[in-house]
Structure 1
Amino acid sequence: MATSGRHHRSMNRISSQPGLVSLDDRRRPQPPALVLVAHGSRDPRTLKTVHELLDQVREQRPDLPVHLGHIELNEPLLPDTLAKLGDAEAVLVPLLLSRGYHVKRDIPEMAAASPARTRVAAPLGPHPLLVDTLHARLVEAGWPTDMDEETRRESAVVLAAAGSRDPDSAVDTRRTAHLLSDRLGVPVVPAYASAATPTVDTAIRALTARGRHRIAVASYFTAPGLFARQCAQKAPWIAAAPLGTHPAMADLILHRYDQAADRRGAGLCRSAAPPRGATSHELPALAV
Structure 2
Amino acid sequence: MSDAPLVAVAHGSRDPRSAAAIHALLNAVRAERPDLDVRTAFLDLSDPRVEDVLDAVHDHGHSEAVIVPLLLGHAFHARVDVPRVASEAERRHPGFRVRTAGVLGPDQRLAGAARDRLLQAGVDSDDPELGVILAGAGSSYAPANRLVSEVAARWERENSWAGAVAAFAAAAEPDVPAAVRTLRERGARRFAIGSWFLAPGLLPDRVIGHAHDQVRDPTIAEPMADHPRLVELVLQRYTDVDRTEDLLPGSPR
Distance 1:105 1:239 in 2: 32
How far residue 262 of structure 1 moved from its aligned partner, in angstroms, is 2.1
Are 1:139 and 2:139 counterparts? no
Query: Aligned residue for 2:108?
Result: 128
Choose from 135, 143, 147 the match for 1:160. 135
Q: What code does the residue aligned with 1:196 have?
A: A
The answer as to whether partners of 1:131 and 1:180 remain within 8 angstroms in 2 is no
The answer as to whether partners of 1:126 and 1:175 remain within 8 angstroms in 2 is no
The answer as to whether partners of 2:164 and 2:183 remain within 8 angstroms in 1 is no
Q: Alignment partner of 2:222: what SS? A: coil
Distance 1:156 1:210 in 2: 8
The answer as to whether partners of 2:118 and 2:194 remain within 8 angstroms in 1 is yes
Query: Aligned residue for 1:215?
Result: 191
Choose from 166, 173, 194 the match for 1:197. 173
Query: Aligned residue for 2:244?
Result: 263
Distance 1:134 1:180 in 2: 11
Query: Aligned residue for 2:14?
Result: 42
Q: Alignment partner of 1:50: what SS? A: helix
Structure 1, 233-242 or 154-163: larger mean CA deviation: 233-242
Give the TM-score of the pair, scaled to structure 1.
Answer: 0.75
Listed one character per residue, the Cα deviations across residues 124-151 of structure 1 (whole Å, up to 9, x for unaligned) are 1221111221122111211025x2xxx3
Query: Sequence identity, in percent?
Result: 36
Distance change (3 Å), C-alpha of 1:119 and 1:182? farther
Give the TM-score of the pair, scaled to structure 2.
Answer: 0.85
Q: Alignment partner of 1:69: what SS? A: strand
Structure 2 unaligned regions, length at least 5: 91-95, 247-253
Are 1:224 and 2:237 counterparts? no
Distance 1:158 1:260 in 2: 34
Distance change (3 Å), C-alpha of 1:243 and 1:89? same
How far residue 104 of structure 1 moved from its aligned partner, in angstroms, is 0.3
How far residue 204 of structure 1 moved from its aligned partner, in angstroms, is 0.8
Choose from 26, 33, 54 the match for 1:54. 26
Q: Alignment partner of 2:41: what SS? A: strand
Query: Aligned residue for 1:169?
Result: 144
Distance 2:75 2:111 in 1: 20
Distance 2:157 2:240 in 1: 26
Distance change (3 Å), C-alpha of 1:203 and 1:122? same
The answer as to whether partners of 2:131 and 2:184 remain within 8 angstroms in 1 is no
Are 1:118 and 2:93 counterparts? no
Choose from 40, 47, 51 the match for 1:79. 51
How far residue 254 of structure 1 moved from its aligned partner, in angstroms, is 0.8
Q: Alignment partner of 1:197: what SS? A: coil
**Bigger relative contact order, structure 1 or 2, given CA contacts below 8 A and separation 6+?**
2
How far residue 50 of structure 1 moved from its aligned partner, in angstroms, is 1.1
Distance 1:118 1:174 in 2: 33
Distance 2:159 2:88 in 1: 44
